[in-house]
């Protein structure tokens, strides 16, 4: 089991239910994303949401999804450890002007991910600006 005490965590996003951190392991600077409940006493639905996300381990295309790696315990709570593909939550980019070409790259990437390549169980439950990220990688038709 991965020990998150060896990671330096930077908060990327919070929605009141979950918190997303970018973690960097102190020993080798390996990066990972960590998704944890926001509350000390999370609702059973929050824990179920983390477990559901983990159930997609090995089933998602890494070109558009952060791969779930393992469920771990962090500060007495269940947390989901995921690969960190880089980028930043799309929610951070909203509400301010954006260059047209960057907007189109992001929009195309989201459209591709929400298309036939994404399992239907993920589309309605987890798709939002907060759970989408923007990277500088070009979108690839799929």
Tell me the pLDDT tens digit for each residue of 6-61.
889 999 989 899 999 999 988 888 899 999 999 999 999 999 999 999 999 988 87
User: Does a structural domain hold residue 105?
Assistant: yes
CA–CA distances in Å: residue 73 to residues 11, 13, 17, 44, 99: 17, 19, 17, 16, 40
Q: Which residues contact residue 31 at a Cβ distance below 8 angstroms, ignoring those fewer than 6 apart? A: 22, 23, 24, 25, 84
User: Does a structural domain hold residue 140?
Assistant: no
Q: Output the pLDDT for position 132.
A: 52
pLDDT over threshold 60, residue 125 = no
User: Does a structural domain hold residue 36?
Assistant: yes
User: Does a structural domain hold residue 142?
Assistant: no
User: Does a structural domain hold residue 65?
Assistant: yes
pTM for the whole thing? 0.73
- Maximum alpha-carbon separation in the chain: 44
Range of the domain at 116: 4-134
Which of 138 and 46 is assigned the larger pLDDT?
Answer: 46
- Give the CATH number of the domain where residue 31 resides: 1.10.510.10
Question: What digits encode the pLDDT tens for the residues 83-121?
Answer: 998 887 777 778 888 899 988 988 887 887 777 555 555
Per the structure, the count of domains in the chain is 1
User: Does a structural domain hold residue 141?
Assistant: no
Type and span of the H or E element at 68: strand 68-74
3-state DSSP assignment of residue 126? helix
User: Does a structural domain hold residue 139?
Assistant: no
User: Does a structural domain hold residue 127?
Assistant: yes
């Amino acid at each position: 089991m991965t020990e998150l005490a060896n990671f330096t965590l930077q908060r990327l996003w919070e929605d009141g239910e979950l918190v997303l951190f970018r973690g960097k392991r102190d020993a080798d600077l390996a990066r990972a994303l960590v998704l944890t409940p926001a509350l000390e006493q999370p609702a059973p639905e929050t824990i179920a949401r983390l477990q559901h996300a983990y159930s997609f381990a090995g089933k998602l295309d890494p070109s558009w999804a952060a791969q779930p790696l393992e469920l771990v315990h962090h500060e007495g709570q269940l947390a989901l450890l995921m690969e960190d593909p880089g980028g930043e939550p799309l929610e951070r980019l909203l509400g301010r002007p954006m260059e047209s070409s960057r907007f189109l790259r992001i929009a195309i990437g989201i459209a591709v991910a929400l298309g036939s390549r994404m399992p239907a169980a993920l589309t309605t439950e987890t798709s939002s600006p907060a759970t989408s990220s923007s990277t500088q990688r070009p979108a690839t038709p799929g």
